[in-house]
């Protein structure tokens, strides 16, 4: 009987050791090691760095695009201020009774203004043919007939101008309807 008791005690000791070993393994699995924690933090910092780097690149790209747009359209305000003077020159040239010298002088001023505007990328909007609501403003309509189909321009009251693809001022026209 003594041997049986000893065997039972040995088995109890083995069970306790097995339980302790299992608990240690469970504790090791449930708690990440310092290395794993450091790796997780390193990954987190790397992700933050990559996001910040991408954001900086986006900011630089947007800044460059804005700067290019400002450069491309820098003369817009000046052109809008000059266009009424160009209109007045055209009206002055249309007046009858001007001497040849005065007319020649006005034409030279007009040509120099038009040339300066072209150098800045400002062009006159063509106002012949079909009406395009993107470039023309209809201020009056006339009835269409066989010679003049609908949605064509009958007369131009004021020339329109654009800077590259941006309309500075639409052409004011009379349209056949």
88-104 average pLDDT score: 93
Is the pTM higher than 0.75? The answer reads no
d(CA 6, CA 14): 12
* Amino acid 40: pLDDT: 93
pLDDT per position as a tens digit, 16-62: 665 555 555 545 555 779 999 999 999 999 999 999 999 999 999 99
Distance from C-alpha of 121 to C-alpha of 136, rounded to nearest angstrom: 19
Q: Quick check: is 4 in a domain?
A: no
**Structural domains in the chain (count):** 2
Whether residue 109 has pLDDT greater than 90: yes
Contact yes or no for 149/121 (Cβ under 8 A): no
The answer to whether 131 touches 138, Cβ cutoff 8 Å, is yes
Same-domain status, 163 and 133: yes
Could you list the residue range(s) of the whole structural domain that residue 47 is in?
Answer: 37-72
For residues 96 and 99, what is the distance between their CA atoms, to the nearest angstrom?
A: 9
Asked if residue 145 and residue 79 are part of one domain, the reply reads: yes
Query: How many whole angstroms separate alpha carbon 11 and alpha carbon 79?
Result: 101
């Amino acid at each position: 009987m003594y041997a049986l008791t000893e065997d039972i005690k040995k088995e109890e000791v083995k069970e306790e050791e097995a339980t302790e070993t299992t608990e240690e393994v469970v504790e090791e699995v449930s708690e990440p090691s310092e290395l794993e924690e450091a790796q997780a933090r390193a990954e987190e910092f790397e992700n933050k760095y990559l996001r910040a780097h991408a954001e900086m690149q986006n900011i630089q790209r947007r800044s460059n695009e804005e700067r290019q747009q400002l450069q491309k359209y820098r003369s817009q305000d000046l052109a809008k201020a000059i266009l009424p003077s160009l209109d007045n020159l055209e009206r002055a040239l249309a007046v009858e009774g001007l001497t040849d010298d005065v007319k020649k002088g006005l034409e030279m001023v007009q040509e120099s203004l038009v040339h300066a505007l072209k150098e800045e990328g400002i062009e006159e909007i063509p106002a012949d043919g079909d009406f395009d609501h993107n470039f023309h403003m209809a201020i009056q309509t006339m009835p269409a007939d066989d010679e003049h189909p609908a949605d064509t321009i009958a007369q131009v009251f004021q020339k329109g101008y654009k800077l590259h693809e941006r309309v500075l001022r639409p052409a004011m026209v009379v349209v056949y309807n």
